[in-house]
């Protein structure tokens, strides 16, 4: 195959009649626009006007498809980058939202369940999972991640789809309730909650996640804040772990519409609480044996009690105060989820099914970190948030086992912003 220089030499060596160039150079005062409209004076002139654009197109085609410049020429390959992070746990945590040990544990879980196979070639299973975590955690474009790991965009896209499907399938093992739990956990059985909501096993609420719908359906997905989102209905337990996730509804739909569809259609697999237990819900959802809502027309939100220095005047206000304080676990879970995975704030242009897979995969990773990494700074901080939203520093937060506060400062700020928006 001829190179770019060979094509250029062939074009320059093309033998045009010298009389053609003499006629062109000796021309009159005719403008260029008028010159192109004149009839050809010779066969060489007609031949040149035919060959010139053809050769130009051939030259551009050869330059683009055959004489390519090497793009991935960095000395630090993808495997070299992984080896470099292996020697720096803090940097690995910053890039992938988990340390090297938890990353390897996640890969082992996916491989042992048969959802992910060891890759062939330069991309193994660990590197493929790391690339997906990099995209989910930083919402980085595929081309930038391909340059970081020194792979083609086709390779990146293929492994992104493969690991995303694996995490979506693995979610069934993590996003599920514990059948043994039928009441509040031991650490919450205090006078503040236990006499009031002793059979509570979780909290349910909806959150809005960025989405890229088809153009003809954009208005239906536009929320009350004028952003294009999807309404995701979630249930979490008292340990900030999601036990049910349903995504796909338009952002303009309220939580009640989503709940009616979920409990009315068995294909969605809604998980009812055990007999005698219930989920905490807000006033926008119905009251029933399985859902405990607060009193309406009574102060409920944190800002309302904070402005009055927690001066409770009626029994209903006291119940709403306890109810709201305990139901904040779902809001904290949403805050941690969106702070960890920035892709949920600005969804890339993916197929609709893959966008839903991204939401499920992020919730799966949220549960994975909550279950395994008990020293996670973000979970420990927001698991001890007071009712007014003032964070309490977890005990031992300055030890080496916990990540430094500066590493998660940006995540904490995003969590606080989400809580204020809610």
Exposed, middle or buried by CB within 10 Å (0-12, 13-18, 19+), for 328? buried
* Average pLDDT of the chain, as a whole number: 79
Angle between helices 125-138 and 153-174 (to 10 degrees): 90
Does position 136 have pLDDT exceeding 70, yes or no?
Answer: yes
Report, as an integer, the average pLDDT of 13-33: 51
- Contact between 151 and 122 under an 8 Å Cβ cutoff? The reply is yes
344 contacts 362 by C-beta, under 8 angstroms:
yes
- How far does Cα 171 stand from its chain's mean position? 15
CA distance 205 to 216: 28
Percent of the chain residues topping a pLDDT of 70: 73
- CB distance 263 to 270 below 8 Å: yes
The owner of tokens 């066969």 is 43
- Flag the least confident range among 60-69, 177-186, 217-226, 250-259: 60-69
Q: How confident is the model at residue 383 (pLDDT cuts 50, 70, 90)?
A: low
Q: What is the pLDDT of residue 34?
A: 52
Top pLDDT among 21 and 184 is at 184
Q: Identify the weakest region by mean pLDDT among 131-140, 290-299, 309-318.
A: 309-318
Number of other CB atoms surrounding residue 92 within 10 Å: 21
The per-residue pLDDT for 210 is 94
**How is residue 406 annotated by DSSP?**
G
Q: In this predicted model, which residue has the larger pLDDT, 284 or 114?
A: 114
Indicate the helix (H) or strand (E) that contains 280. strand 278-280
Q: Cα 87 to the chain's mean position, in Å?
A: 27
Is it the case that residue 161 has pLDDT exceeding 60? yes
Extract the tokens encoding 411: 């995540």
**Mean of the pLDDT values across residues 330-359?**
93
- Which region among 129-133, 244-248, 287-291 has the lowest average model confidence (pLDDT)? 287-291
Q: Give me the residues paired with residue 391 across strands.
A: 385
Grade residue 403 by pLDDT with cuts at 50, 70 and 90: very low
Q: Which of 139, 129, 137, 112 is nearest to 78 (CA)?
A: 129
Q: How far is CA 276 from CA 145, 211, 272, 273, 401, in A?
A: 49, 37, 11, 8, 40
pLDDT higher than threshold 70 for residue 310: no
What local confidence, expressed as pLDDT, does residue 20 receive? 47
390: confidence class by pLDDT, cuts 50, 70, 90:
very low
Q: Alpha carbon 279 to chain centroid distance?
A: 27
pLDDT band for 12, please (50, 70, 90 cuts).
low
- What is the spatial distance between Cα 112 and Cα 169, in angstroms, rounded to a whole number? 13
């Amino acid at each position: 195959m001829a190179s770019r220089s060979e094509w250029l030499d062939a074009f320059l060596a093309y033998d045009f009649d010298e009389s053609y160039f003499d006629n062109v150079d000796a021309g009159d005062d005719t403008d260029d626009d008028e010159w192109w409209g004149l009839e050809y004076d010779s066969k060489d002139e007609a031949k040149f006007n035919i060959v010139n654009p053809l050769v130009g197109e051939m030259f551009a085609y050869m330059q683009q498809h055959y004489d390519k410049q090497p793009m991935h020429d960095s000395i630090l390959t993808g495997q070299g980058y992984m080896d470099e992070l292996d020697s720096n746990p803090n940097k690995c945590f910053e890039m992938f939202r988990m340390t090297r040990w938890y990353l390897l544990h996640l890969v082992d879980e996916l491989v042992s369940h048969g959802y992910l196979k060891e890759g062939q070639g330069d991309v193994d299973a660990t590197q493929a999972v790391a690339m997906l975590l990099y995209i989910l955690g930083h919402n980085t474009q595929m081309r930038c991640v391909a340059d970081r790991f020194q792979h083609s965009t086709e390779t990146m896209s293929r492994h992104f789809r493969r690991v995303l499907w694996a995490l979506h399938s693995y979610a069934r093992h993590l996003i599920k309730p514990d059948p043994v739990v039928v009441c509040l956990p031991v650490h919450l059985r205090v006078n503040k909650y236990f006499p009031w909501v002793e059979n509570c096993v979780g909290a349910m609420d909806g959150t809005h996640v960025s989405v890229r719908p088809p153009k003809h359906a954009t208005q239906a997905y536009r929320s009350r804040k004028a952003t294009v989102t999807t309404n995701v209905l979630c249930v979490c337990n008292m340990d900030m772990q999601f036990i049910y996730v349903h995504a796909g509804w338009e952002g303009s739909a309220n939580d009640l519409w989503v709940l009616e569809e979920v409990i009315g259609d068995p294909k969605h697999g809604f998980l009812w609480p055990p007999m005698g237990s219930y989920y905490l819900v807000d006033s926008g959802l119905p009251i029933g044996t399985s859902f405990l809502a607060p009193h309406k027309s009574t102060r409920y939100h944190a800002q309302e009690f904070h402005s009055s220095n927690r001066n409770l005047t009626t029994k209903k206000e006291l119940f709403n105060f306890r109810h709201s304080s305990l139901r904040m676990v779902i809001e904290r879970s949403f805050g941690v989820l969106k702070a960890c995975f920035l892709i949920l704030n600005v969804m890339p242009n993916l197929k609709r099914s893959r966008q839903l897979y991204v939401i499920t995969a992020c919730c799966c990773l949220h549960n994975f970190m909550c279950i395994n990494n008990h020293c996670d700074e973000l979970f420990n901080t927001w698991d001890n948030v007071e009712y007014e939203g003032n964070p309490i520093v977890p005990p031992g937060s300055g030890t080496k086992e916990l990540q430094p506060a500066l590493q998660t400062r940006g995540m904490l700020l995003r969590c606080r912003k989400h809580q204020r928006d809610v």
